[in-house]
Amino acid sequence: MSLEKELAAGIAQMGLEVTPEQQVKLLDYLALLQKWNGVYNLTAIRQPEQMVSNHLLDSLAVLPYLWPRRWLDVGCGGGLPGIVLAVMRPEWSFTLLDSNSKKIGFIQQAAIELDLQNVEVRCERVEQWQVQQKFDGIISRAFAEVADFVRLSRHLLKDDGRWAAMKGAPEQELARLPDGIKVEKVITLQVPKLKAARSLVVLGVEK
């Protein structure tokens, strides 16, 4: 099956609305990821078909559960899920943050080539980074354990903002959450052709 068909089939299975233009952009991003992977070591996955399920569909799976409008992707690596989400939600803004300058260089190039006007890129350590305008949502896919994720990024979240942690089976990690953090929901995700358990944990600050 071609990558186009693989992606389209996965999107249909998840019941998502993705325009043909967005699908082209997602595949263009995948091509860039593949092209630069050898140089920058962006992902351990080398097979394009596997990249469709493990990267594109995995990132798309969280889309129905996110909220507007300003998002931070912490430890974004090669741009996941931030680039995929930015393609899908052009009316929201996404800041992609990582301390690896090579990966940030790649993301910057990808955002230019994909003409993503809603992406900002930062090469910083999250715990040291300060902002004037805080975020409605902070997401991470492969950054750290949930407790560390919320602790290190708490100063960047709006008072009414929430975190979205993309995880496998999160139960043990959730038992180690710091005081004052509440689990709003744990959503089990079904990602086509992905054999591993996937879930999205939404967390907030207790009032």
183 is an annotated ligand-binding site residue: no
3-state secondary structure of 83: helix
User: Pick from 115, 113, 117, 120: which is nearest to 98 by CA?
Assistant: 120
pLDDT score of 135: 98
- Residue 36, number of CB atoms within 10 A of its CB: 18
| Residue 25: band (very low, low, confident or very high) from pLDDT cuts 50, 70, 90 | very high
CB neighbour list of residue 39: distance below 8 Å, 6 or more residues apart = none
Residue 183 has pLDDT above 90, yes or no: yes
| Residue 109: band (very low, low, confident or very high) from pLDDT cuts 50, 70, 90 | very high
127 is an annotated ligand-binding site residue: yes
Hey, what domains does the chain have and what are their CATH numbers?
3-205 (3.40.50.150)
pLDDT score of 50: 80
User: Pick from 69, 64, 42: which is nearest to 142 by CA?
Assistant: 42
Average pLDDT on 166-189 reads: 94
| Residue 182: band (very low, low, confident or very high) from pLDDT cuts 50, 70, 90 | very high
Residue 98 has pLDDT above 90, yes or no: yes
CB neighbour list of residue 90: distance below 8 Å, 6 or more residues apart = 116, 117, 118
Given a contact cutoff of 8 angstroms between Cβ atoms, the answer to whether 191 and 198 are in contact is yes
List the end-to-end C-alpha distance of the chain, in Å, as a whole number: 50
Burial 45-79 (b: 16+ CB within 10 A, else e): beebeebbbbbbbbbbbbbeebeeebbbbbbbbbb
pLDDT score of 134: 98
Percentage of the chain modeled with pLDDT above 70: 99
78 is an annotated ligand-binding site residue: no
Q: What CA dihedral angle connects 54, 55, 61 and 66, to 10 degrees?
A: 150
| Residue 94: band (very low, low, confident or very high) from pLDDT cuts 50, 70, 90 | very high
User: Pick from 7, 37, 39: which is nearest to 22 by CA?
Assistant: 7
Average pLDDT on 15-22 reads: 97
pLDDT score of 116: 98
Give tens-digit pLDDT for 191-201: 998 888 999 99
Cα 158 to chain centroid distance, Å, stands at 19
Would the pTM count as exceeding 0.85?
yes
Residue 141 has pLDDT above 90, yes or no: yes
75 is an annotated ligand-binding site residue: yes
Give tens-digit pLDDT for 33-86: 988 887 777 777 777 778 889 999 999 999 999 999 999 999 999 999 999 999
pLDDT score of 205: 96
Structure tokens, 160: 């009414």
Q: What's the rounded Cα separation, in Å, for the pair 149 and 166?
A: 11
Given a contact cutoff of 8 angstroms between Cβ atoms, the answer to whether 177 and 37 are in contact is no
42 is an annotated ligand-binding site residue: no
